[in-house]
């Protein structure tokens, strides 16, 4: 048993429903700063376990561009964007451009990784594993792609299909942002961008609905995601 399991980290899950991107970004920052302020005041004593947070939500239609992204990967000009239903934000996560909208499950872990493991690469791989294990419950074999973050479904007879995008940011080992898992997403909305900056014919996007050929209950997926998070990160829900 590792030190994180011995400490029995407590995580509060909050489902925020369908909300604007700005609203959740602001809330993430409040929780992130709260954990950092606690650390500055009390250190990382094993005798004190801070409360960590797992936020789930769906966003109103929005495109977000990561700090290493290129604005050219947004295929709408300023006027088209202004007269569309989409918002647009430049943000501080890693990665390029992506889409969030109704039917997509977005998960934001606000964890102090010093109470789990101090390894950014392992953190991203574990987020991917959460989704890979969830897809296994739907009899879908998913995997990682060399040189690309996220979760993919490979096809020998067609393009690789990305079903989950991941982008994170850490400050003093406290996490922000997270994963976006296409469940019943409107995939046509990805046509306005070069998703994650990947402009190749052998890669595309997909959703759980498309792979299964039916609508999927969002609450059912949330339950599975929550369970795999708790198992892989070895914590209990408050």
3-state secondary structure of 140: coil
Q: What is the DSSP letter of 94?
A: S
**Residue of 105, 110, 174, 196 marked catalytic:** 196
Compute how many other C-beta atoms are within 10 angstroms of the C-beta atom of residue 168: 20
Q: What is the DSSP letter of 158?
A: S
**Is 160 in contact with 148 (CB distance < 8 Å)?**
no
Q: What is the DSSP letter of 230?
A: H
68: exposed, middle or buried (Cβ count in 10 Å: 0-12, 13-18, 19+): exposed
The tokens describing 124, both together, are 């991203």
**Is 9 in contact with 231 (CB distance < 8 Å)?**
no
Nearest by Cα to 145 from 164, 170, 130: 164
The tokens describing 83, both together, are 């007269």
Q: Is 57 tagged catalytic?
A: no
Task: Return the active site residues.
Answer: 196
């Amino acid at each position: 048993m590792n030190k994180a399991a011995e400490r029995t980290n407590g995580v509060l899950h909050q489902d925020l429903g369908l909300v604007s991107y700005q609203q959740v970004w602001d809330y993430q920052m409040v929780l992130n700063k709260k954990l950092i302020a606690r650390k500055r005041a009390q250190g990382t004593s094993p005798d004190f376990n801070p409360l960590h947070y797992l936020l789930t939500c769906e966003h109103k239609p929005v495109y977000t561009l990561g700090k290493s992204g290129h604005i050219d990967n947004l295929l709408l000009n300023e006027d088209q964007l202004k007269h569309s239903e989409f918002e647009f934000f430049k943000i501080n996560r890693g990665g390029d451009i992506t889409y969030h909208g109704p039917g997509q499950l977005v998960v934001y872990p606000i964890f102090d990784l010093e109470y789990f493991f101090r390894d950014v690469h392992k953190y991203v791989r574990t987020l991917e594993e959460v989704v890979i294990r969830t897809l296994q419950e739907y009899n879908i074999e998913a995997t990682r792609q060399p040189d690309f973050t996220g979760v993919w479904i490979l096809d020998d007879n067609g393009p690789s299909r990305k079903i989950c995008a991941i982008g994170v940011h850490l400050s003093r080992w406290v996490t922000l942002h997270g994963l976006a898992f296409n469940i019943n997403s409107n995939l046509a909305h990805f046509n306005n961008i070069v998703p994650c900056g990947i402009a190749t014919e052998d890669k595309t996007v997909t959703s759980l609905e498309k792979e299964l050929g039916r609508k999927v209950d969002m609450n059912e997926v949330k339950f599975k995601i929550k369970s795999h998070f708790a198992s892989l990160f070895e914590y209990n829900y408050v």
